[in-house]
Structure 1
Amino acid sequence: MADHLEATITLPSDPASVSAARRYVTEALADWGLPPDAGAADTVRLIVSELATNAVQHTFGQSPTFTVELHLEREEELRIGVTDSHPRWPKRLPAAVQQDNGRGMVIIRWLAAESGGRLSVAPTEDGGKTVWIALPWTAPVQSG
């Protein structure tokens, strides 16, 4: 496998795009050796689903698209990024507001920590942001 692999897709900020993002990520990970039924693939799909949902729901129509990026470095670290053009950075909502929604970032932070990963947010040149999750790569070793 190459030292660096990348996969990127840009989708409209529409609820239907969340499932399209999950499918795209599942296919890319499978191409890189992580079976769709692996626990790590489930974790990545859930992270992408939550981040994509945030990009659709919390940009208030100010980000017509969002981009999902995957970067695999030296078969050691998988970086997942979701970029939108809305300037507001994600934040935890007060518990009283979290009744029906608002738990996405809590879930993402927990999944990242449970997997030995980390979360960061970086500004983009156009005033938006990318939410990054870095996880240890856990693809099964191919036996020969």
Structure 2
Amino acid sequence: MADLLENSITLPSEAASVSMARRHVTAALAEWALPAESDALDTIRLIVSELTTNAVQHTFGQSPTFTVTLLLERDEELRIGVTDSHPRWPQRLPAAVRQDNGRGMVIVRSLTAHSGGRLTVTPTPDGGKTVWIALPWQPSGAGPADPG
């Protein structure tokens, strides 16, 4: 059975919390031996930025906090979850829609697929949801597998 490492942080749903979440994730992954200069870390930081921005912007003040959870099954996968208490789940935008915002989940889905991962959304007991990203983890500790 693989070892499971877990790390989480709960932050207020405000814009400044996005960078705090990104820094927290970066520090946790450094403790788990992900090199600071890796492309994998850049991908993970962007995913965390987009998911936490969504938790701040699209809960319309109905989720006073959000939680970022990291789960690492050594030699298997890294799971990143962002939980808020707003009941609305992420929506897919039609490809033809042109707008300045609302593309966060498109970016997250693309980065996740490119990294060989998967995206799921699960309900929480309080009526909210957690958006989960699961990424393959290389046994060397180098982070998500590089598909290219």
Shorter chain as denominator, the TM-score bin is: over 0.9
Number of the residue aligned with 1:99: 99
Deviations 1:91-117 (A, max 9, x none): 123456542111101100000100000
Which amino acid is the alignment partner of residue 5 of structure 1?
Answer: L
Distance 1:98 1:109 in 2: 18
Deviations 1:11-52 (A, max 9, x none): 000000000000000000000000121100011100000000
Which piece of structure 1 moves more, 92-101 or 131-140?
92-101
Unaligned runs of 5+ in 1: none
Task: Give the ranges of 4+ consecutive aligned residues of structure 1 lying more than 3 Å apart after TM superposition.
Answer: 94-98
Number of the residue aligned with 2:65: 65
Aligned length: 140
Return the TM-score normalized by structure 2: 0.90
1:43 corresponds to 2:14: no
Number of the residue aligned with 1:140: 142
CA offset at residue 76 of structure 1?
A: 1.4
Number of the residue aligned with 1:13: 13
Greater helix share, structure number: 1
Deviations 1:34-73 (A, max 9, x none): 0121100011100000000000000000000000000001
**Is the Cα contact below 8 Å between 1:47 and 1:108 reproduced in 2?**
yes
Identity of aligned residues (%): 76
Does the C-alpha gap of structure 1 residues 53 and 25 become closer, same or farther in structure 2, counting only changes over 3 Å? same
Which amino acid is the alignment partner of residue 93 of structure 1?
Answer: L
Number of the residue aligned with 1:22: 22
Which amino acid is the alignment partner of residue 39 of structure 1?
Answer: D
CA offset at residue 132 of structure 1?
A: 0.2
User: Alignment partner of 2:35: what SS?
Assistant: coil
Does the C-alpha gap of structure 1 residues 5 and 75 become closer, same or farther in structure 2, counting only changes over 3 Å? same
**Is the Cα contact below 8 Å between 2:88 and 2:128 reproduced in 1?**
yes
